[in-house]
Amino acid sequence: MDPVSVPSRSNLLLVLAIAVAAVGLSACSPSVLALDVGTCFDDGDELGSVSEVRDVPIVDCDVPHDNEVYFTFQLNDGSYPGSERVFDIADKECFGSFEPYVDEAYETSQLEFGWLVPTEEAWEEANDREIICFLYDLGLNKLAGSMEGSGSSGA
């Protein structure tokens, strides 16, 4: 995965826009390439404050954490469909995968979702097609334990 963007509807109707550029694994903050379903991670210093993030601090889900990956998928090959189209696909797929993972409807949950999506540069230069959907608490509180099947905010 190389540069990716991440808007979704988010806390207090703000749009979280993040681009992720995975360059390699770091001992302290692994690359976003390590973000598989069930992986928990913290925002780190860069998340939300810059347009490109290369890695995030992965943490054990048993300790309080900011985010949890709940779904990943690959976009079809071909030419880059444009950022708005990629955002639309990410929003639709992440929304549809929310309730099966959390075991609660998105509309009644205290959890929000965001996503990491490839930028045009990552699409062209690194053949990146992966979208990563992640959960976080609507009030930006730390999550406690895995949110899989929790049916609650977990905060």
Q: Is residue 107 part of a domain?
A: yes
Instruction: Quickly count: other Cβ atoms within 10 Å of residue 54's Cβ.
Output: 18
Q: Is residue 100 part of a domain?
A: yes
Q: Could you give the C-alpha distances from 91 to 98, 125, 132, in angstroms and in order? A: 11, 24, 11
- SS3 string, the chain, reads CCCEECCCECHHHCECCCCECCCCCCCCCCEHHHCCCCCEECCCCCCCCCCCECECCEECCCCCECEEEEEEEECCCCCCCCHHHHHHHHHHHHHHHHHHHHCCCHHHCCEEEEEEEECHHHHHHHCCCEEEEEEEECCCCCECCCCCCCCCCCC
Q: Is residue 112 part of a domain?
A: yes
| Domain with 17 in it | 4-137
Q: Is residue 94 part of a domain?
A: yes
Q: Give the count of domains, the chain.
A: 1
Among residues 123, 48, 127, 57, the alpha carbon closest in space to that of 85 is found at 123
Q: Is residue 143 part of a domain?
A: no
Q: Is residue 65 part of a domain?
A: yes
pLDDT, position 13: 27
Q: Is residue 122 part of a domain?
A: yes
pLDDT, position 117: 86
pLDDT, position 32: 61
pLDDT, position 44: 72
Global pTM value: 0.77
Q: Which residues of the chain have pLDDT under 70?
A: 1-34, 45-54, 152-155
pLDDT, position 74: 94
Q: Is residue 36 part of a domain?
A: yes
